């Protein structure tokens, strides 16, 4: 009976140990890929790395290697055991710095000293018997126990115990100081979570077996305690991931929670289920009259697919239950609806191309196009297919006499559409349905297959449906262009507001902190560049200019008196001044490389010339133009940023 119980406990230990490796490694990758710029995320990565190293060694020795490799693995395991206390202290120092109390040099020197001490303990454990001494262990209760190796404490082990207790206590006190300094109730609560949860991994890897005696880690009582500790570590790891996800994040708390929930379900959740399935099916049992080893691949695939299907079905309900407050449910539904309905320009152009292809196949011609004529005078080719592509400028000059407004809504539902002949094409007007008078916004051109229009009633009915779809696509293209233009101006302001809120949440509650964070000087360089991009795109009006945080900068204040004390006009003048600084000397040229960046900024944003026309004028491809436009905007932003930094230094007391 004892042998069976010992075997069950050993198997459970293997499963739980591997589970900890999966969860710790997953959270390590999750934090590093999301918030690598944040110090808290980086230092928490050290903690998770130590934890992963320790339990990865435990997982390896459970596979039953040769005694020499077994002993070597137990020594190498001390990499995580030795460095865990200083990693915890390093994390506590990073948390304390987020509350406005960075190290003045003393804590930094202490951290470096502790890393050297940890390195010393690791060297002692790996290459000497001063800290731990591997010993062979034989148990009559466990089959194959002749390969088991345990460790006993060496003469300097109690120095490690003292180091562990002192450093871990100091880390706990640092987090307590950080918790007291938090202003917002939510951040104080999260810091409290960290204070409890961050000590659990350290306690989970502490080598208690060295205090209890050789072989206790392989006894029934020892394995029971180890399994209990492993369960607590797993729960605390998941619990620890929640508050750590908020540090360095510039997205709303709601999105942080959603991302974490999805990651835990689709990442570690899938890995744990696959691991459990492998262990259960390879335990020597037979399933459906098949050996477990042969049934295992099918079982793993089936479990993973079933789990992913369950997550896809249940995730919306879980998000509503765990994440969305009742008051926000309606707003969240609208945001999700907007996300589902919005299409990119490429999506809409692909729809138009598919529509033109269907039209050509039905009418049995090879060419068709859709052009926009928003003012009835200027035309722009939106989508075209086939060898015959007309000159849109000639189309604008020779547009047949269509009504500028649709007569009534009933005409839209009729089985005939007005068609005019023009230069080998049949032209059909496209009217907007966004307002009541239905203005003309474009034309649909079909290659003429005869001198006169020879469409049957079925052809007319089909053409009417396609014209309706083309009108909707052109309407959507115009509407979403306006929507994206507004979002392009507003999103940088929203992102900056969120980042400022994050910095205030972890500040000590003193008046000068609020003033400091409210100043333009608190904007970092990347945020400054985003503001410049938005202001350029809304150069002649829009939230990117009128609501820009650049209006608060010293550069704008310096030029206010020269621009009628109008901040928006001043910001426009500042952008223009920066663009002119990029102008090379001499006569303006359009195809010379040194003039390219200036020409792009001046033509695209000041003259508001369309991308296609600018690309033709500068002899560039559109993709190349967009790439050089990003370079030009970054160069302008760098120039303005340096000027702003110089002004801030001169005006600061």
Last residue of a domain, one of 425, 446, 479: 479
Q: Predicted confidence band at 89 (pLDDT cuts at 50, 70, 90)? A: very high
pLDDT tens-digit series, residues 325-343: 655 666 666 666 666 667 7
**Cα–Cα distance for residue pair 532/548, rounded to 1 Å:** 9
Question: Residue 388 pLDDT more than 90?
Answer: no
Place of tokens 């099918």: 298
- Choice between 80 and 497, residue whose per-residue pLDDT is larger: 80
Q: Are residue 71 and residue 183 in the same domain, yes or no?
A: yes
In a domain, 463, yes or no: yes
In a domain, 527, yes or no: no
Q: Are residue 93 and residue 135 in the same domain, yes or no?
A: yes
Q: Are residue 246 and residue 263 in the same domain, yes or no?
A: no
Q: Are residue 243 and residue 262 in the same domain, yes or no?
A: no
| pLDDT for the residue numbered 520 | 41
| pLDDT for the residue numbered 587 | 86
Q: The tokens of 277 are what?
A: 């399935």
Whichever domain contains 610, its CATH number is 1.10.10
What number of H helices and E strands is found in the chain?
26, 9
Q: Are residue 177 and residue 217 in the same domain, yes or no?
A: yes
Q: Predicted confidence band at 239 (pLDDT cuts at 50, 70, 90)? A: confident
pLDDT tens-digit series, residues 339-372: 666 777 777 788 888 888 888 888 888 899 988 8
Query: For the stretch 139-149, what's the b/e string if a residue is b when 16 or more beta carbons lie within 10 angstroms of its beta carbon?
Result: beebeeeebbb
**Cα–Cα distance for residue pair 90/43, rounded to 1 Å:** 6
Q: The tokens of 589 are what?
A: 């040229």
Q: The tokens of 190 are what?
A: 């999260």
| Counted domains in the chain | 4
In a domain, 192, yes or no: yes
Whichever domain contains 468, its CATH number is 3.30.450.40
| pLDDT for the residue numbered 540 | 82
Residues near 171 by Cβ (< 8 Å), separated by ≥ 6?
85, 88, 89, 91, 92, 198, 199
- SS3 annotation, 348-416: HHHHHHHHHHHHHHHHCCCCEEEEECCCCCCCEEEEEECCCCCCHHHHHHCCCCCCCECCCHHHHCCCC
**Cα–Cα distance for residue pair 530/540, rounded to 1 Å:** 17
**Cα–Cα distance for residue pair 355/349, rounded to 1 Å:** 10
**Cα–Cα distance for residue pair 278/266, rounded to 1 Å:** 18
The DSSP secondary-structure symbol of 621 reads -
Q: Are residue 417 and residue 559 in the same domain, yes or no?
A: no
Residues near 555 by Cβ (< 8 Å), separated by ≥ 6?
574, 640, 643, 644, 647
Q: Are residue 195 and residue 279 in the same domain, yes or no?
A: no
In a domain, 539, yes or no: no
Is 0.75 surpassed by the pTM of this model? no
Last residue of a domain, one of 420, 455, 479: 479
Instruction: Return mean pLDDT, the chain.
Output: 78
Domain with 65 in it: 2-250
Question: Mean pLDDT across the stretch 70-86?
Answer: 89
In a domain, 494, yes or no: no
pLDDT tens-digit series, residues 436-448: 667 788 888 888 8
| pLDDT for the residue numbered 415 | 41
- Choice between 487 and 94, residue whose per-residue pLDDT is larger: 94
Q: Are residue 391 and residue 474 in the same domain, yes or no?
A: yes
Q: Are residue 223 and residue 369 in the same domain, yes or no?
A: no
Q: Are residue 349 and residue 309 in the same domain, yes or no?
A: no
Q: Are residue 456 and residue 567 in the same domain, yes or no?
A: no
Least confident of 62-76, 125-139, 166-180, 391-405: 391-405
Q: Are residue 581 and residue 637 in the same domain, yes or no?
A: yes
In a domain, 526, yes or no: no
Least confident of 12-21, 243-252, 507-516: 507-516
Question: Mean pLDDT across the stretch 300-319?
Answer: 88
- The answer to whether 489 and 537 are in contact (CB under 8 A) is yes
Question: Mean pLDDT across the stretch 178-203?
Answer: 78
Last residue of a domain, one of 479, 499, 527: 479
In a domain, 516, yes or no: no
In a domain, 592, yes or no: yes
**Cα–Cα distance for residue pair 500/509, rounded to 1 Å:** 15
């Amino acid at each position: 009976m004892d042998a069976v119980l010992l075997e069950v406990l050993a198997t459970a230990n293997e499963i739980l140990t591997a589970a900890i490796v999966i969860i710790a490694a997953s959270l390590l990758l999750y934090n590093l890929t999301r918030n690598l710029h944040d110090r808290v995320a980086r230092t928490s990565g050290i903690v998770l790395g130590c934890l992963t190293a320790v339990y990865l060694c435990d997982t390896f020795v459970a596979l039953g290697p040769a005694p020499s490799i077994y002993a070597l693995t137990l020594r190498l395991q001390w990499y995580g055991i030795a460095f865990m206390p200083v990693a915890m202290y390093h994390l506590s120092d990073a948390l304390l710095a987020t509350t406005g109390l960075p190290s003045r040099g003393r804590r930094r020197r202490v951290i470096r000293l502790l890393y050297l001490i940890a390195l010393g303990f690791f060297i002692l454990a790996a290459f000497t018997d001063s800290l731990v001494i591997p010993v062979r262990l034989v148990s009559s209760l466990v089959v194959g126990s002749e390969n088991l190796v345990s460790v006993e404490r060496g003469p300097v082990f109690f120095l490690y115990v003292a180091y562990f207790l002192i450093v871990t206590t100091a880390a706990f006190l640092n987090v307590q100081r950080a918790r007291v300094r938090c202003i917002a109730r939510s951040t104080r609560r999260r810091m409290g979570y960290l204070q409890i949860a961050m000590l659990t991994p350290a306690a989970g890897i502490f080598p208690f077996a060295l205090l209890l005696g050789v072989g206790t880690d392989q006894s029934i009582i020892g394995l029971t305690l180890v399994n209990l500790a492993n369960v607590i570590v797993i729960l605390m790891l998941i619990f620890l991931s929640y508050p750590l996800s908020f540090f360095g994040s510039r997205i709303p708390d709601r999105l942080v929670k959603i991302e974490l929930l999805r990651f835990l379900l689709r990442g570690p959740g899938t890995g744990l289920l696959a691991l459990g399935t492998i262990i259960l099916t390879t335990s020597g049992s037979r399933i459906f009259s098949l050996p477990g080893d042969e049934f295992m691949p099918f079982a793993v695939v089936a479990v993973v697919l079933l789990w992913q299907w369950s997550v896809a079905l249940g995730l919306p309900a879980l998000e509503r239950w765990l994440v969305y407050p009742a008051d926000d449910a309606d707003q969240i539904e609208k945001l999700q609806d907007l996300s589902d309905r919005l299409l990119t320009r490429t999506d809409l152009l692909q729809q138009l191309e598919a529509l033109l292809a269907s039209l050509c196949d039905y009418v049995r011609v090879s060419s068709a196009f859709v052009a926009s004529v928003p003012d009835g005078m200027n035309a722009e080719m939106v989508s075209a297919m086939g060898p015959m592509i007309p000159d849109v400028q000639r189309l604008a000059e020779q547009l047949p006499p269509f009504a500028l407004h649709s007569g009534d809504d009933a005409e839209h539902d009729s089985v005939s559409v007005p068609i005019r002949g023009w230069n080998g094409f049949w032209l059909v007007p496209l009217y907007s349905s966004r307002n009541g008078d239905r203005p003309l916004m474009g034309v649909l051109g079909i290659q003429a297959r005869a001198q006169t229009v020879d469409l049957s009633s079925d052809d007319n009915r089909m053409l009417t449906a396609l014209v309706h779809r083309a009108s909707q696509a052109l309407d959507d293209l115009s509407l979403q262009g306006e929507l994206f233009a507004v979002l392009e101006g507003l999103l940088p302001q929203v992102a900056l507001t969120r980042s400022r809120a994050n910095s205030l949440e972890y500040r000590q509650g003193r008046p000068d902190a609020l003033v400091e964070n409210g100043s333009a000087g608190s904007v970092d360089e990347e945020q400054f560049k985003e503001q410049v991009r938005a202001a350029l795109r809304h150069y002649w009006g829009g939230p990117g200019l009128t609501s820009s945080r650049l209006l608060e900068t010293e550069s704008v204040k310096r030029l206010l008196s020269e621009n009628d004390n109008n901040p928006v006009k001043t910001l426009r003048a500042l952008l223009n001044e920066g663009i002119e600084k990029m102008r090379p000397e001499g006569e303006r040229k359009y195809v010379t490389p040194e003039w390219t960046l200036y020409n792009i900024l001046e033509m695209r944003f000041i003259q508001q010339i369309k991308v296609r026309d600018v690309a033709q004028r500068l002899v560039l491809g559109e993709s190349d133009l967009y790439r050089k436009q990003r370079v030009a905007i970054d160069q302008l932003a760098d120039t303005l940023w340096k000027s702003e930094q110089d002004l801030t230094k001169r005006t600061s007391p």
